[in-house]
Amino acid sequence: MKEIAAALVKAQKEFGPALKTSTNPHFRNKYAALDACIEAVIDALNNNGIMLMQQTSLCEDGVIVETLFIHESGEMMGGGKLHVPAAKQDPQGYGSALTYAKRYSLQSACGIAPEDDDGEHATKSVQQKQAAPAAPKPAAKAPTKVEGKDTTWQLKVVAKPDGDHGEWSQLIIDATMLQLQQATTEAHVMELFKTNRNIYDEVKAGSPNAYEVLMDEFKQARAKHKEAA
C-alpha cells in the first residue's frame, strides 16, 4: 500500500472545491452535485496515477456503494461501503439513492466538502471590507445527534460537531421525504411527524425557512392520502 498511499497524499493536495452549482427545489438552496464532486478530484487523481471507481453491491432495500482508488502499480484502497435505502422500489427510486450514495461516498473517501464558488468568496470579501466593524453574530450550529421516538418511523440524524444548521436541516428534509414516500396512509404521515417532533422543533429553532418547507411536505402528503381514501 506504500505507492498508492504516497500518490493519494500528492493528489489530495491538488483537490479543488466541490462547487455548489445545483439547486435543491425543496430547500431552495445550492448544493454540490455528483458531477461537481467528481470534477473536484478526478484530474488530481489521474495525474498521480490513480483511477477512481465506485463499486455497487446487491441490496434488497436500496443501494450499497464503495469508492475505490486503484493505483497504476496495482495497489488498491477503498473508502468503506455506504448503504442508502431507496425511497421507492422502482428504477427512479433506486437511481436517486445511487446518485445520493455516490456523492456522499466520494466526498467522504476524498475528504472534500462542498464550498462556495470563487464569485461568492469574492463578493463576501468585498462586502466585509466595505461594511463597518460589527460584533460577529455566531452562526446557528447543528445538533450533533438528534433522534425521534423509538418506533417504526424514527429518524436518526448525526451531524459534524461544527456543522452548519442549514445543511443539517437539509439532511432532515431529505430523510423526511424518503419516509413520506413510503407512507401509505394519512395515519402514517401523522405518526412520522409525532415520532420526530423534537427533531422538527430543532429545525424550526435554527432554520425557520426549512421548517416551512417541511410543513408544506407534510400538508401535501396528508392531502394526497385523504384524496386516495
- Do 109 and 23 fall within a single domain? yes
Reading the block at residue 70, the C-alpha cell is: 486503484
**Is residue 124 domain-resident?**
no
What pLDDT score does 134 carry?
53
- Do 107 and 159 fall within a single domain? no
- Do 93 and 143 fall within a single domain? no
- Do 14 and 107 fall within a single domain? yes
Last residue of one domain, picked from the residues 82, 115, 148: 115
Q: pLDDT by residue for the chain (229 residues), tens digit each?
A: 889 999 999 998 888 765 444 444 444 445 567 788 888 889 999 999 999 999 998 788 889 999 999 999 999 999 899 898 887 778 888 888 888 888 888 888 888 765 444 334 433 444 454 555 555 555 566 677 778 888 888 888 777 666 777 778 888 888 888 888 888 999 999 999 999 999 899 888 888 888 888 898 899 989 888 887 7
- Do 28 and 105 fall within a single domain? yes
What pLDDT score does 39 carry?
86
**Is residue 126 domain-resident?**
no
pTM above 0.95, yes or no: no
**Is residue 40 domain-resident?**
yes
**Is residue 133 domain-resident?**
no
- Do 146 and 91 fall within a single domain? no
- Do 143 and 111 fall within a single domain? no
- Do 11 and 54 fall within a single domain? yes
What pLDDT score does 49 carry?
95
Q: For 87-120, give one letter per residue: b (16+ CB within 10 A) or e.
A: beeeeebbebbbbbbbbbbbbebbebebeeeeee
- Do 110 and 143 fall within a single domain? no
- Do 147 and 110 fall within a single domain? no
What pLDDT score does 138 carry?
52
Which amino acid, 38? Answer: I
Angle, CA 53 vertex, CA 51 and CA 57 arms, to 5°: 160
What pLDDT score does 140 carry?
61
Reading the block at residue 130, the C-alpha cell is: 466595505
What pLDDT score does 161 carry?
67
User: Which structural domain, as residue segments, surrounds residue 43?
Assistant: 2-115
Q: How many domains does the chain have?
A: 2
- Do 73 and 178 fall within a single domain? no
**Is residue 132 domain-resident?**
no
